[in-house]
Amino acid sequence: MTDRSLRPSDPAFVGGHRVLARLGEGGMGVVYLGRTETGALAAVKVIQAEYAHDEEFRARFRRETRAARRVDCPWVVKVTGADPEAEQPWLATAFEPGPSLADAVHRHGPLPVGAVRVLGRQLARALDAVHAVRLVHRDVKPGNILLAVDGPRLIDFGIARFADDTAITSADLVVGTPGFLSPEQAAGGGQLGPASDMFSLGCVLAYAATGRPPFGGGAVDALLYRTVHDRPDLDGVEEELAAVLLRCLAKVAADRPTAAELDAALVEDVPPATADWLPEDVVRLIAERSAEMMALPEIEATLADAPQPTAPSRRRFLALTSGGAVLAAGGGIAAWAALRSGSRRAKGPAAPGWALGVQADLSGPGKAAGQAQEQGARLAVEQFNALGERAFTLELRTADDGGSADRAVTAAQRLVADPDVLAVLGSSADATTQAALPVYDAALLPVISMSAGQNLLQNVRSFVRGRPLHNAVAMKLAFQLKATSSATPVGLLLDRSGGDVSWMSIQMINLVLRKYGDTTHPRVIPAGTTDLAPVLDDMRAHGIRAFVYAGPAEGAIRAARGLARFDGPKYAAEPALDARFAAEPTAEGWTVTASAIGIEAPSVHTFAQAFRTRYGHAPGLWAAEGYDAANLLIRELTAANGKRPARAALATSLKTARYQGITRAFAFDAETAGTPMLATPASFVHEVRGGAFRYLGPAPDKAPRPKGK
């Protein structure tokens, strides 16, 4: 079950609603499950204090709340109350216990074409009602659509605006969820109209039909670029439906259908207001989510040490259903799910073991980094088990994904199915981590990654990233260049073989260097290019005096060979931190900035000695990061005072963890795109010397002051 427990700082009452549990937390506030004196349940969103002190925000919130209360549509959650004048303004809507569209697709895959058509028609009617009161929702996404047996519900007016309002903040701020933004939102534009919501709805329906966003995933900057410039990916969508979606996904707002036009364009014969529109497994999920809500603590259990029932009793089941808890699934379905789940739990589990999992590429192209992390984590576990006084013995279970996204799903499923595994380090690559996260998130199995640096755009609740994003590391590379060289112009080579990581790195480096007054000469080569001579000749002909490469290690080797006689400073982005590149004779003197620390770092000295004793050789790059991640997870396990923690509780505590490791200080800031960010990002500088990487130290946090400043 999702951890919905209240925190000491949470209120007991909000506007006449008795607060029962946390439903979620976003950028503008916390959403609670509340019950009125009449027994009706509501989702109560309490706005953060920083907005509450803004009088302009209060005035706008007051207007938008009045408008939202006028929205009259069965497919939009009903606004049941609000107080814009409260110390912390709040808004209450009818509570829907069903899963979100994002949850349903993650668990059970794309919806059938008929279900997508029904979904589209009803959401079109929802948006038509929203637009009729001159509101623009601005965050239509799978996570804001709840599924019930009689149809979907559009939720969250948290960032809704009047159609003729200007942007909520500065023009360069993107508001909404990347992957489901309109081109005008992605470009950071000012005024947004109903057509923006229609583009987002097109993205949602494409996601429902295929299981993937139509403009892909990965780094935010790259995703926004594709939204503005690229054709949507509708492969696998039925031809007639694809034609309708292409109209919604038109780049020009005026070319998109209105909500009413989309409603008319989507024809489906499924009977309305029945469960027939959804696949059986999704109906079952709706029932289970309704039953989960019934397992919340009693209203009277307000003390911190109050017992938490594991399954609803018959008395509680009857009391809750009569109080209005079953709103979407229907009493019969929810009763079946509650009693069925209760009978399973009555048997009681066997005495569990304690284990950490490691998912990594242990046999594929990235096996050096994967094996290093596994060895570092194993050393941490063995050191813990060697302690004289400890509450439990820990095991390490591994799952090799071979660097393959398909194998990553299987590896994650194996660790999820192991009842002893309480948390996972992994995966060791961006693509495999992104593929595995839906599996871990569905089980609320906590995961920390130390080497995946892309912005993995998913509604993940159990994932933390123990390293900075790739663009943050690229920024440090630009700072290192400015701190060590005044050479300009700088040649920037983007190798498309490196995917979004390369694009993101070069964009950031180009931005920083231009800000500091340098001239740059950027060039792009298509994926798979093996002959770099023409582009390198072009760069030299334009008089470049320094060079930066962003792409895979194989491409970095080709660039080093092609620039063997170039005597200017040469730099490469993180993927070049590979022993194969360091062993290339022409790579001598190249500088690489990465998130992995060097084994020569003073803080790593004791670990490196212990590693040599255990394995008979020096630790590889990323081994110290694996050691840190395992020790952070061990620290969270020991905080349970000998009691086996639930996976969901551990996932929650991990997001607020504070730990001083040998590679960095671990502390996590507020969530961005669903993932807590490392508050103290660490990047390090390495130089190729004598066929190996020599550690130079932490990368600078800023560049020298620009000339004339």
Environment class of residue 220 by beta-carbon count within 10 Å: exposed (0-12), middle (13-18) or buried (19+)?
buried
| 525 DSSP β-pair partners | 495
Q: What is the DSSP string of 309-355?
A: -SS--HHHHHHHHHTT--SSS-HHHHHHHHHHHHHHHTT-PPPP--E
Q: Output Rg (C-alpha) for the chain, integer angstroms.
A: 27
What residues contact residue 559 under an 8 Å CB cut-off, 6+ apart?
493, 532, 536, 547, 549, 551, 572
> What is the CB neighbour count within 10 angstroms for residue 679?
12
What is 71-115 written as a DSSP string? ---TTBPPEEEEETTSSS-EEEEE---SPBHHHHHHHH-PPPHHH
Angle value at C-alpha 502, between 495 and 486, nearest 5 degrees: 90
CA 112 to chain CA centroid, Å, is 26
Annotate 636-675 with b (16+ C-beta within 10 A) or e (fewer): bbeebeeeebebbbbbbbbbebebebbbbebebeebebbb
* Whole-Å CA distances, 556 to 58, 539, 541, 552, 561: 54, 16, 20, 6, 9
Phi, psi for residue 412 in degrees, rounded to 5: -65, -40
Rounded Cα distance, 210 and 236, in Å: 7
Half-sphere CA count of 527, side-chain side, radius 13 A:
8
139 is catalytic: yes
Directed axis angle between helix 194-210 and helix 101-108, to 10°? Answer: 20
- Of 139, 156, 400, 628, the active-site residue reads 139
Asked if residues 159 and 47 have their Cβ atoms less than 8 Å apart, the reply is no
Sheet holding 79-83, edge to edge: 13-14, 17-25, 29-35, 41-47, 90-94, 79-83
For 105-134, give one letter per residue: b (16+ CB within 10 A) or e. bbebebbeebbbbbbbbbbbbbbbbbbbbe
- The CA-atom distances, in angstroms, between 671 and each of 26, 266, 286, 428, 475 are 8, 36, 27, 21, 21
Exposed/middle/buried for 269, CB within 10 Å: 0-12, 13-18, 19+?
exposed
What residues are labeled active site? 139
